[in-house]
Amino acid sequence: MQLILTPTAEQASIAAARQIAGTLQGLPHPVLGLATGRTMEGIYAVLAQIHQTENLDFSALTSFNLDEYVGLPPADPRSYHHYMQTRLFQSINANPEYLHVPNGTAPNLDAECAAYEAAIRAAGGIDLQLLGIGDTGHIGFNEPPSAFDTRTRVVTLDEATRQQNAAMFGNDPSAVPTHAITMGVGTILDAKHLLLVATGPAKANILAAALEGPITPDVSASAIRLHARCTIIADEASAAALSPELKDQATRIA
Ligand code: F6R
């Protein structure tokens, strides 16, 4: 596990975007696992900027998003399809055919999940999986407890997660969909490299639980410590509850 600490959230976004750019430039057919949410907004803004100013090439990119709400069509402004389109995809030169987000309105959701797993395998697996961490310790929408061998499936969202994500739904947690499709913890652990990004004081306790507490299905993000190649980028605010010993081992970016 490699821990990178930055003074600010903005610097964490830049550091994460540079890691992603390195993967894109280093592979002829890069496969990225992508996430949504507030933490990712800054990262995608930096990536779009690097595309514009340095011609970072996305033309060979295949991507798979972690999750999508059940029942929201792609055009719904609250869907993760729409998030990806407006936050990143419309600003880069990727081939839309190779950009995958689970279809939360598929008539047969179990078949959609199985097809998603098959598409990841057919692409040769994920080279770099980008992750945020939720208030419940989830990665993707793997709410506690999520076994470490779970695959892409339909899950019930925790009340805490519906609360966390209510801003997009008129600040009404009851308006947040009750279910989502998510890659499983096992699907995530299959990626060749994991990159978890955390920013802001609200993430401090759950980040410490994930990185220094027990490795348990009750905190899905703790599973990343089982991965041979795992990078965590955290700003000082989200790293506030980490032990001095762990912080001493971190790489610091000024
Ligand atoms: C979203 C996802 C979630 C978020 C997490 C943090 O695709 O996979 O695990 O990364 O809920 O969300 P924010 O960044 O909004 O705090």
DSSP code per residue over 168-217:
GGTT-GGGS-SEEEE--HHHHHTSSEEEEEE-SGGGHHHHHHHHHS---T
* Mutation probe of ligand 1 site: the residue of 133, 146, 199 with most atoms within 8 A of C-beta: 133
Kindly state if the Cβ of 68 falls inside 6 Å of ligand 1: no
Q: What is the DSSP letter of 24?
A: H
Q: Coil, strand, or helix at residue 38?
A: helix
Identify which of 108, 47, 102, 112 has the alpha carbon closest to the alpha carbon of residue 80: 102
Q: Rounded to an integer, what distance in angstroms lies between the CA atom of residue 204 and that of residue 235?
A: 10
What spacing in Å lies between the alpha carbon of 108 and ligand 1's midpoint?
25
pLDDT digits (tens, 9 = 90+) for 49-78: 999 999 999 999 999 999 999 999 999 999
Kindly state if the Cβ of 140 falls inside 6 Å of ligand 1: yes
pLDDT digits (tens, 9 = 90+) for 92-114: 999 999 999 999 999 999 999 99
What's the average model confidence in pLDDT over 125-153? Answer: 98
Q: What is the pLDDT of residue 254?
A: 79
CB 202, CB 164: distance < 8 Å = no
Pseudo-torsion of CA 197, 203, 169, 69, nearest 10°?
Answer: 50
Nearest CA to ligand 1 atom 3: 140
Kindly state if the Cβ of 35 falls inside 6 Å of ligand 1: yes
CB 115, CB 181: distance < 8 Å = no
What spacing in Å lies between the alpha carbon of 180 and ligand 1's midpoint?
13
What spacing in Å lies between the alpha carbon of 59 and ligand 1's midpoint?
26
pLDDT > 90 in the chain, percent? 100
Q: Rounded to an integer, what distance in angstroms lies between the CA atom of residue 133 and that of residue 126?
A: 19
What's the average model confidence in pLDDT over 162-174? Answer: 97
What's the average model confidence in pLDDT over 30-36? Answer: 99
CA of 138, closest atom in ligand 1: 9
* Mutation probe of ligand 1 site: the residue of 13, 34, 66 with most atoms within 8 A of C-beta: 66
Kindly state if the Cβ of 139 falls inside 6 Å of ligand 1: yes
Kindly state if the Cβ of 138 falls inside 6 Å of ligand 1: yes
CA of 161, closest atom in ligand 1: 11
